[in-house]
Structure 1
Amino acid sequence: MSASRPMEPRPWKPIEAFHAQEGTDPLANAFAGRRAVHPFVGLSPVPESEWSRTWTEMTSAARSGKSVAYLHIPFCESHCLFCGFYQNTWHESAGAVYAEALVEHLKRDRDRPYQAEGPIQAVYVGGGTPTLLSTRELARVITAAREHLPLAPDCEITVEGRARDLEPDKAQALFDAGVNRLSIGVQSFDQDVRRRLGRRTERGTLLRRLEDLVAADRGAVIVDLIYGLPGQTPEVWEEDVRTAIGLGLDGLDLYALKLMPQTPLAIAARAGKLEPAAVESHGAFYARGAELMDEARWEPLSSSHWRRSTRERNLYNLEIKAGAQCLAFGAGAGGCLGGHSYRILADVAEYAEYVRPGRPLLGGLMRLSPHHGLLDGIKGGLERGRLDQWALADRLATTTGLDLEQVAGPLLDQWQGAGLLTRDGRWLELTLAGRFWQVTLTQNLLEWLDQRLRDGAAPVERPAALA
């Protein structure tokens, strides 16, 4: 996120550019491809010459509303074939130095209003692969977060990692330090699929490690599965989901494979060495996974996340999507504070050098849209699969003087005609197909609304069948 370089304004798009295809299977063909929710909708760069002043203003005020914290561990032992976020190769010697720098980062602003005041509902230790840190290093980071952040009494504290790193002694030490949620990237339980992905842990070892974590009964245990992987047939996918359901986990994520252009998997696919499942088949994978979760009576907390027990809350992910303030710690970590999005400088050596003397750690700074509260409400609602249209209409009218039906009604009606949602009085509800396309729908609606707000929201003709 470079904020010293002006951003080009987005080209204006006609409403048809956001339409879904009608008269077809919406799970397979509603859109040409799935989109990501772009973080820069409505954002504008803060000139680097203004970073110091702006940061001082941001950090001199207490936070308001919901707040979370993100701690970044930017190391991986190897580059997973499907991952587009690889940053730094892990060396054991790096752990102690980085953990010390991260603790210092947590400590340095502990008395400033932005950090000291207002409860934090969730802490997420992500990466990278946080469980590469030694037991002592990772426990020390967690302890520092509890000591220097004003955590709510029921704060969710998540550590993301690999099952093979979480030996019983290490897991118990993390629980003792205050961790109450483990999020484990499994992707698939199938041995052949895992081998194609370069995953080293054997299926049997993986299952035993997860069973041990569940049996410990000291925190929520969450697993991520991915559909669309090379060699993953519908039968393999169904067995993956059934295996996860049978483990007694507290939560489960079902994600589609995102084939980012520069990932090793995308390069191998272009070379014909590996063949991921056709994108058009992803909807069927999702539908079967959702059906199995429903049959097992797991509760959907979002379009991609289900829980078996009330121990699982998924707070960090839900709050961050709904616009919570986020304090960022660690090299490359991203946060949101006081109407701004910011990023900590990403170079690990530079970060460790700068953190001790208290030098500025900013690597980028963006100003949020003046309508970010409105846009965040849409993101948070659609993430859960429903949108309170009355509340949205009231907020739009109050903050902009505009009418929801005039601004967005034609687009929402078109999506309803395509089988992606229903509009019944107060509530907009996503259908099964809408839940599959939820991220694309969210991005399209945010982009369309941002565009309409910028162009003055001139009337758009409604589809004839819905007028």
Structure 2
Amino acid sequence: WTEEAESYFEKVPPFVRPMAKRGVETYARSKGIEVVTPELIRLAKEKSMGKKKKNDEGSEKKPGNWGDMNRSTSRIHPEISTFFAKEGVDALRYAFEKKTAVHAGVGGTYLEKEQVMETWAECSAKVDHSKRRTVYIHTPFCRSHCRFCGFYMYKLEKDSSRIYSHGLLHEISLASETAAVQDEPIHAVYFGGGTPTDLEAGDLEKLLEGVHKYLPLSNDCEITIEGRVDNFTDAKIDACLRGGANRFSLGVQTFDTKVRRLMGRRAKREEILELLGKLCDRNQASVVIDLIYGFPNQTMDIWLEDVRTFIEDTELDGCDMYQLNVFNGGPLANAIEEGKVPQAADIPTQAEMFSVGRQMAQDARLNRLSLCHWGRSSRER
């Protein structure tokens, strides 16, 4: 890295610098370049953001939800025009060309490094009188980067679990003394990621114990551990339950083994059903899963089988049905552009998948709790 490149890189928000730096260096190696300059950083950025030079026919138009992931706002497409629907068409399939965000309602901008602690002190000193309050605790590690995921940050290393959980507990203890945390009860705690179930069993239990020790939890507080099937061992399940977790949310995405392998998921259909059965048989926590529609090679028949499997072959308490997003510069986008993976489903096809999934849930008399979440039992709120 030249001095100019290092200086230029200071403009990148601190918490994304490690990931961005790896991306620049990967791009440099792919081009056989040994020295990183500001110009190379610019080229790497354009590559990661999916920018293409216009040809005589204009910019390339891609089917499906292709876009640039903004981690601070969750937005994919910032243009205001995306909020205006087309008229005179089948609304579900053709009113909009793309989604505008990964998650609704998320907003905000990055803070400069020197502003972080001052802003946190100001916010945490204010009493929060919200009637329903949630704590989100992030785990930024994964054992591997699945092709479709836009939230991967760091690979789990040997001591990552111990070091991170120790620091996290310390931060929770400090935050617990603030007015914003202590003055009203907390009704839900969500361990998300990344992959929280990639943490060691002992660390998971300590974090859960710390949440109970330091946070003013309500008597009916819902405590969710997010994870995936691979490496979610019996020891980790038991540790979570001992620590007080009462809800598990697993990213199954699809039960089809071939589609799963294409997307970088490790567990087979049989292994998924075995783990889900274990969790349900313990009967100590709500168990829900995510399913995604629109994957490459995921036909309508495969999607119907995914939804049928959830409804008929499991005793799960709930399920989310999410639309696939393809992030420019991500593993899935690169694989599609390089011809290694077929195109993802276009918007009309995804709309049809959502429609039939919704109808199957309705026919099974599931309770629709939000736009894309269904509950089967009274446990799922």
Aligned residues: 304
Partner of residue 188 from structure 2, selected from 122, 130, 133 = 122
Tell me the equivalent position of 1:64: 129
2:236 maps to: 170
**Aligned pair 1:183/2:256, yes or no?**
no
Answer yes or no: is the 8 Å Cα contact 2:127–2:179 preserved in 1.
yes
> 1:114/1:227 Cα in 2 relative to 1: closer, same or farther (>3 Å)?
same
Residues 209 and 244, structure 2, Cα contact 8 Å, conserved in 1: yes
Pairwise CA distance, 1:59: 2.0
CA distance in 1, matches of 2:129, 2:198: 34
Task: Assess, with a 3 A threshold, how the Cα gap between structure 1 residues 136 and 53 changes in structure 2: closer, same or farther.
Answer: closer
Determine the structure 1 residue equivalent to 2:346: 278
1:19 alignment partner, one of 77, 81, 84: 84
Partner of 1:183, secondary structure, is: strand
- Residue pairs, 1:357-396, within 5 angstroms: none
The match for 2:359 among 291, 300, 304 is 291
Cα 1:113/1:19, change in 2 over 3 Å: closer
Structure 1 distance, partners of 2:123, 2:346, is 46
Q: Which has the higher contact order (CA 8 A, sep 6+)?
A: 1
Between the aligned partners of 2:109 and 2:231, the Cα distance in structure 1 is 41
Q: CA deviation at 1:50?
A: 5.6
Q: Deviations over 1:70-105 (max 9, x none)?
A: 111110111110011111011132111111111111
Partner of 1:322: none
Percent identity between the aligned chains?
A: 38
Which residue is equivalent to 1:34? 99
Report matched runs for 1:422-441 at 5 Å.
none
Q: TM-score, normalised by structure 1?
A: 0.61
Offset, 1:22: 2.1
Q: Match of 1:281, SS? A: helix
Residues 215 and 57 of structure 1: CA distance in aligned 2, closer, same or farther (over 3 Å): same
Judging changes above 3 Å, is the alpha-carbon distance between structure 1 residues 155 and 215 closer, same or farther for their aligned structure 2 residues?
A: same
- The one-letter code matched in structure 1 to 2:217 is L
- Tell me the SS of whatever aligns to 1:306: strand
How far off is 1:39 after superposition? Answer: 6.3
Q: CA deviation at 1:12?
A: 9.7
Q: Which moved more, 1:301-310 or 1:276-285?
A: 276-285
Structure 2 CA distance, aligned partners of 1:290 and 1:51? 42
Helix, strand or coil at the partner of 2:98: coil
Q: What is the CA distance between 1:257 and its match in structure 2?
A: 0.5
Task: Answer whether contact 1:164 1:209 (CA < 8 A) is retained.
Answer: no
Deviations 1:110-157 (A, max 9, x none): 222222221011100011011111111111001101100111111110
Is 1:268–2:331 an aligned residue pair?
Answer: no
Residue 29 of structure 1 aligns with an amino acid whose one-letter code is Y
Paired residue for 1:251?
Answer: 318
Partner-residue secondary structure (3-state), 2:159: helix
Name the CA shift for 1:306/1:34 in 2 (closer, same or farther; >3 Å): same
Moved over 3 A (4+): 37-41, 43-55
Q: Which structure 2 residue ranges, 5 or more long, are not aligned?
A: 1-11, 15-77
What SS does the corresponding residue of 1:164 show, helix, strand or coil? coil
Q: Tell me the residue number matched to 2:287.
A: 221
Question: Unmatched 5+ residue regions in structure 1?
Answer: 4-10, 314-467
Structure-2 change in CA distance of 1:143 and 1:232 (3 Å):
same
Match of 1:201 in 2: 267
Aligned to 2:23: none
CA distance in 1, matches of 2:191, 2:79: 38
- Root-mean-square deviation (Å): 2.4
Q: 2: CA distance between counterparts of 1:230 and 1:193?
A: 8
Distance change >3 Å, CA 232–CA 70, structure 1 → 2:
same
Q: Are the equivalent residues in 2 in contact too, given 1:168–1:213 (CA < 8 A)?
A: no
Distance 1:53 1:270, change over 3 A: closer
Q: Report the Cα offset of residue 165 of structure 1.
A: 2.6
Is 1:161 matched with 2:227?
yes
